[in-house]
Structure 1
């Protein structure tokens, strides 16, 4: 995958022709997550997302986009349609701060206020990094889960994850050099701990403190105080990675040079 990304950016360099434009903009929308607390719905939003970006349009089809997005994802077994999940009774909220660089390809020739097409579908692919901080509520207060090592990990999992963004959308030249777009994009990550859930229940003796014991197995809160997460039994879905997604709108302004008209 890194070789594919490098090939995209090399393509940008060799297609760096006269029709170069800079573009700046912002985004607003929703974020969602696919992982151990949401295994079946890839378009389920669970929080908001806002972002800023700067883009270099190398020509009418190809561009490179530097993007920063702040979002929040969450999940709760109590809202699941599955009785098994409701009995497990885990939940989390995770703020995400993502910085990424993406290659974008327009299917139609497009430069706002300088081309014949007012709209175009597009796709994108890139790479980036995100920070993530899973939390859960305990006695009415948010508690960070990483340091609690709720599955008996020898060490805390990383604060950062590598992400591979990919997605598609459609953009429209609303007025002059202004463009509005709507897109749906996913992030493949190299972590299974966006939700602090991955493997099996650990014995209480392997957990660092009382808060960890409480948050590692919350099934007793729904079962008369009797926990059902026996050590060694399944806690997560055993899939090796979590995903997250963004869906929303962007508004951008393009600094079109005179050479772009030719």
Structure 2
């Protein structure tokens, strides 16, 4: 509800500024792949593990600068069982996270495609912003019959720390793209954008293995904290309390790779402020 109110307020601002000035409002949708860099993917910044989709409302102040309100839904995941790293396969953890993102993003077109009389139809662009996410973490359990079930980790402390209960985080979106002006109103675009986050628990893995009494304070977090014994013949876990569970990075990162289409309301007036 809070995000909806912010979006409606921004749409009202766009309409007000458009009526009183010659700024050009733009509305668009996008879809593509989602990726993530963290404890399950430490070295491949382009790895895609899920899908995303979203939309935006934007105000173009001049042929180069614009500011928009963006909403995106995405899903990311990781699985030690599919890793090439033996240590990670032995760890035998996994996760799936769904996230809702709302961000205010400024963009800069390198070329002028929108001034009256401009013949340019293609322009690279850069963007940078600030936003927030609401996210839910799941762990995936493989049953003996071959089925896989996702269990929500809400309220579960698999490392025995209160930070794992947070579902909100601030994010810094940044990236680049390429747009093609098909007509005066319609634009096609493709982009890649990373999100620097202020959390290390997008994947529910960060620190060390907990003591059982601490983790059990919240819905038996100890049970899903160490799953290494599930793949060992003797069924015994490999790790002890205090052993490293995550890597030494302090924050996770995720990315969206999108293609999209937008519609710009073109005014016969020149851009003004």
- TM-score after normalising by structure 2: 0.85
Question: 2:55 & 2:271 partners in 1: Cα distance?
Answer: 27
* CA–CA separation in structure 1 for the residues paired with 2:114 and 2:247: 45
Pairing 1:1-262 to 2, within 5 Å after superposition: 19-111=22-114, 115-138=118-141, 140-154=148-162, 156-208=164-216, 211-224=220-233, 225-260=235-270
Alignment partners' CA distance in 2, 1:98 and 1:175: 30
Structure 1 alignment gaps of length 5 or more: 1-15
Aligned partners of 2:164, 2:213: CA distance in 1, in Å? Answer: 17
Determine the C-alpha separation between the residues in 2 that align with 1:156 and 1:88.
19
Give the number of aligned pairs.
247
C-alpha distance after superposition, 1:24-56 (max 9, x if no partner):
010010010100111111110110000010110
Cα-Cα RMSD: 2.1
User: CA–CA distance in 2 between the matches of 1:202 and 1:80?
Assistant: 24
Question: Offset of 1:211 from its aligned partner?
Answer: 4.3
Matched with 2:10 is none
Asked if the contact 1:112–1:177 (Cα under 8 Å) also holds between the matched residues in 2, the reply is no
Shift of residue 154, structure 1, vs aligned partner: 4.2
Q: Report the TM-score, using the length of structure 1 for normalisation.
A: 0.89
Q: Is the 8 A contact 1:70 1:96 kept in 2?
A: yes
Distance 1:252 1:114 in 2: 20
Unaligned stretches of 5+ residues in structure 2: 1-17
Moved more, 20-29 or 156-165: 156-165
